[in-house]
């Protein structure tokens, strides 16, 4: 059966150049980057070159790039590391209600350990308000952590403005850029960030490897203690093939960014328009303009998102839903809830995230099968469409 993969915000296949770059470091160049012999020195050189490439992509200094196991570790290091380093200065952290669990649950952990966390609301498009942020700042605030773009609805936050405000007040600013690095321009200087986490597998790199930018002088306590790796910030033998792969992926994505974003944006718009034309009672989530080019979140009224995703899967289409099935009860997405979308509508959410290899023909195929699936599921649904949206 054909596969139409529209779940690139969950993960991506590796870019053709990535596997090629990684293979030698599994086979011939398998040295430990801490070893003094030739194989070790070659591994070290590969790490140095990878660091240079990541730094170049972000317009950062290579000494400010540290490799991690992915976005979750980067967010933990940024948030807990700052909290532990600055706990004597203050114990207040500001984040938003729509962050990824890697941020929300890390903040929850800190709340249980003596810190106070403010979760900023968002507007109907999923944007954080600067006025809300200003009001939340206290003389105890040590860290602001706001994601660059949301993984579910794709809304891009005003990071540069938030960063400027944080800098003015002497507060450390972290951004979870897992969904933006490699997709849209991420320039450390423009964004006014102190800490920025990314993840290789979201931009056609391997899984289980990431990086964090930590601006020189910003105090962050390490979470893993051990050897001198990553300048004492993250102990453990480096994942050389993974790091080489991450850097190759980022280099390729940056080189192709403009073209990819343009194509993805056109296909996403075609999918959005087609859904709006062919299916009644749908709602598009996220900011109309300040949104990731390949991101499309849709609520289909009077159906369950899970049922839709499973039906699409039977047709070879891979998408995802914002709601999660936990212990038999359907929890609607915390992101849609924070955006003020009624729970019964949030239950019918689906996320389509496009990538570099999607085609117009694939989008046409989705638009061919989707309306029938929606209609069938709605006839089985106990919930009826409201009159204003048309008779069900
Ligand atoms: N932050 C965001 C916004 C994400 O979308 C994800 C993954 O979905 C993560 C963090 C976690 O990244 P990783 O899978 O590399 O741990």
Which range (142-151, 212-221, 383-392) has the least confidence? 383-392
Burial of 228 (C-beta count, 10 Å sphere; 0-12/13-18/19+): exposed
| Contact yes or no for 281/303 (Cβ under 8 A) | no
- Does a structural domain hold residue 147? yes
381 lies in some domain:
no
Domain that holds residue 348: 4-10+257-371
Query: Any bridge partners for residue 309, and if so which?
Result: none
Give the SS3 label for residue 211. Answer: strand
If one counts every other C-beta atom within 10 angstroms of the C-beta of residue 162, the result is: 24
User: 124-183: per-residue pLDDT in tens?
Assistant: 999 999 999 999 999 999 999 999 999 999 999 999 999 999 999 999 999 999 999 999
Residue 390: inside a domain:
no
Binned at pLDDT 50, 70 and 90, residue 330 comes out as: low
Q: Does residue 186 lie within any of the structural domains?
A: yes
Q: Is residue 329 over pLDDT 70?
A: no
Asked whether residue 275 is domain-assigned, the answer is: yes
Per DSSP, helices labelled H in 320-380 are 334-338, 343-346, 360-380
d(CA 260, CA 264) in angstroms, rounded, equals 6
In terms of domains, do 232 and 190 share one? yes
Using one digit for the tens of pLDDT, what is the confidence trace for 57-89? Answer: 999 999 999 999 999 999 999 999 999 999 999
DSSP-derived 3-state class of residue 306: helix
216 and 298 both lie in a single domain: no
Whether 107 sits among the annotated catalytic residues: the reply is: no
Together in a domain, 344 and 211: no
CB count within 10 Å of CB 372 equals 13
233 Cα: distance to centroid of ligand 1 (angstroms): 20
pLDDT-above-70 percentage for the chain: 96
Identify the residue whose C-alpha is closest to ligand 1 atom 12: 71
| Ligand 1 contact via 351 beta carbon (within 6 Å) | no
CATH of the domain at 285: 3.90.1150.10
**Rounded CA separation 238/33 (Å):** 7
- pLDDT class of 391 with cuts at 50, 70, 90: very low
Please tell me the total count of domains within the chain: 2
Ligand 1 neighbour 179 (Cβ under 6 A): yes
Residues 229 and 190 in one domain: yes
pLDDT of residue 297: 98
7 in contact with ligand 1, CB cutoff 6 A: no
| Candidate from 10, 68, 72, 242 with most ligand 1 atoms within 8 A of CB, to mutate | 72
- pTM for this entry: 0.96
262 and 231 part of one domain: no
Residues 264 and 314 in one domain: yes
Q: Is residue 392 part of a domain?
A: no
Q: Is residue 391 part of a domain?
A: no
Compute the mean pLDDT over every residue in the chain, rounded to the nearest whole number. 95
Atom of ligand 1 nearest to the CA of 75: 10
What is the domain-level CATH number for residue 31? 3.40.640.10
| Same-domain pairing of 206 and 287 | no
């Amino acid at each position: 059966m054909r596969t139409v993969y529209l779940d690139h915000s969950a993960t991506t296949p590796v870019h053709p150049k990535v596997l090629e770059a990684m293979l030698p470091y599994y086979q011939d160049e398998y040295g430990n980057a801490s070893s003094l012999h030739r194989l070790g020195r070659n591994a070290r050189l590969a790490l140095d070159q990878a660091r240079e490439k990541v730094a170049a992509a972000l317009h950062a200094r290579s000494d400010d790039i540290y490799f991690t196991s992915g976005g979750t570790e980067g967010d933990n290091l940024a948030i807990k590391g700052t909290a532990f380093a600055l706990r004597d200065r203050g114990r207040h952290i500001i984040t938003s209600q729509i962050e990824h669990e890697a941020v929300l649950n890390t903040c929850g952990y800190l709340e249980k350990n003596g810190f106070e966390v403010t979760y900023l609301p968002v507007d109907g498009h999923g944007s954080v308000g600067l006025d809300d942020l200003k009001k939340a700042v206290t003389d105890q605030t040590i860290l602001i952590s706001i994601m660059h773009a949301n993984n579910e609805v794709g809304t891009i936050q005003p990071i540069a403005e938030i960063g400027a405000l944080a800098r003015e007040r002497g507060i450390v600013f972290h951004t979870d850029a897992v969904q933006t690095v490699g997709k849209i321009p991420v320039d450390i200087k423009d964004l006014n960030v102190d800490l920025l986490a990314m993840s290789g597998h979201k931009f056609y790199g391997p899984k289980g490897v990431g990086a964090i930018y930590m601006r020189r002088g910003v105090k962050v306590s390490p979470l893993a203690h051990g050897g001198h790796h990553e300048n004492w910030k993250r102990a453990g033998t480096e994942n050389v093939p993974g790091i080489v792969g991450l850097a190759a992926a980022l280099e390729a994505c940056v080189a192709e960014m403009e073209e990819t974003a343009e194509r993805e944006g056109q296909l996403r718009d075609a999918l959005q328009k087609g859904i709006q034309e062919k299916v009644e009672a749908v709602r598009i989530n996220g900011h109309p303009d300040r949104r990731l080019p390949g991101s499309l979140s849709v609520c289909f009224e009077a159906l369950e998102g899970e049922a839709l995703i499973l039906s699409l899967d039977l047709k070879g289409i891979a998408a995802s839903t914002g709601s999660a099935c936990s212990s038999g009860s359907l929890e609607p997405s915390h992101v849609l809830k924070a955006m003020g979308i009624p729970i019964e509508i949030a239950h019918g959410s689906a996320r389509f995230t496009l990538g570099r290899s999607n085609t117009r023909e694939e989008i046409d195929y989705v638009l061919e099968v989707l309306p029938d699936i929606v209609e069938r599921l709605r006839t089985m649904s106990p919930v009826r469409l409201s009159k204003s949206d048309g008779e069900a």
